[in-house]
């Protein structure tokens, strides 16, 4: 069950909005996606920290979603960003990170929560066991973290001191 996390809220509050803008991207469907994303952001007490939500429109015949390049291009257009190098991106799916990097999104973070347990194939598996923190081999623009607070180190230049 999700609930407000004061440390996560503080992380968002400490982002220097003169340097970056914060948007949420989801593969969920609109209108339910937007309502779901807004609801989740509201429950987390982060709804006032996000400028907008980018979602998939499954009602369109040729809809796009992450990791398709057009999804990221649409996100840039909606957020009024021209330079992909200026895009920062956090996702828990490596394929989505790869899609953003193909477009040239500047600084990406693969968020691999560790310590959580999930049932897989009838066996309990700890999430994040297979991922080492640091940077993706061969790409110093993709960091791997297990706790969102690590963004303060990875992107230290966008956080208030």
Q: Are 13 and 4 in contact (CB under 8 A)?
A: no
Q: What is the mean pLDDT of the chain?
A: 88
Query: How far is residue 60's CA from residue 54's CA, in Å, rounded to a whole number?
Result: 15
Q: What is the pLDDT of residues 15-69, one digit of tens each?
A: 999 999 999 999 987 666 558 888 899 999 999 999 999 988 888 899 999 999 9
What is the distance between the alpha carbons of residues 159 and 49, in angstroms, rounded to a whole number?
14
Confidence of residue 117 (pLDDT cuts 50, 70, 90): low
Judge whether 63 and 56 are in contact, CB under 8 Å.
Answer: yes
Cβ proximity of 52 and 25 under 8 Å:
no
At 149, is the pLDDT very low, low, confident or very high (cuts 50, 70, 90)?
Answer: very high
For the segment 66-116, what is each residue's pLDDT rounded down to a tens digit?
999 999 999 999 999 999 999 999 999 999 999 999 999 989 999 998 766
Residue boundaries of the structural domains of the chain: 1-63, 84-154
Contact 86, 119 (CB under 8 A): no
* Domain 1-63: homologous superfamily in CATH: HAD superfamily/HAD-like (3.40.50.1000)
- Contact predicate 114/146, CB 8 Å: yes
Is 70 exceeded by the pLDDT of residue 129? no
User: Tokens 């952001």 identify what position?
Assistant: 41
């Amino acid at each position: 069950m999700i609930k407000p996390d004061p440390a996560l809220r503080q992380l968002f509050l400490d982002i220097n909005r003169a340097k970056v803008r914060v948007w949420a991207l989801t593969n969920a469907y609109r209108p339910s996606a937007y309502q779901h994303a807004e609801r989740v952001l509201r429950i987390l007490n982060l709804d006032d920290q996000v400028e907008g939500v980018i979602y998939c429109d499954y009602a369109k015949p040729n809809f796009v979603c992450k990791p398709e390049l057009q999804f990221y291009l649409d996100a840039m257009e909606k957020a009024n960003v021209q330079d992909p190098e200026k895009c920062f991106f956090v996702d828990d799916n490596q394929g989505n990170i790869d899609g953003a990097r193909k477009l040239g999104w500047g600084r990406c973070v693969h968020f691999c929560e560790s310590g959580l347990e999930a049932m897989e194939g009838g066996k309990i598996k700890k999430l994040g066991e297979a991922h080492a923190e640091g940077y993706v081999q061969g790409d110093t623009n993709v960091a791997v973290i297990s706790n969102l607070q690590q963004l303060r180190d990875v992107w230290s230049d966008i956080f208030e001191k």
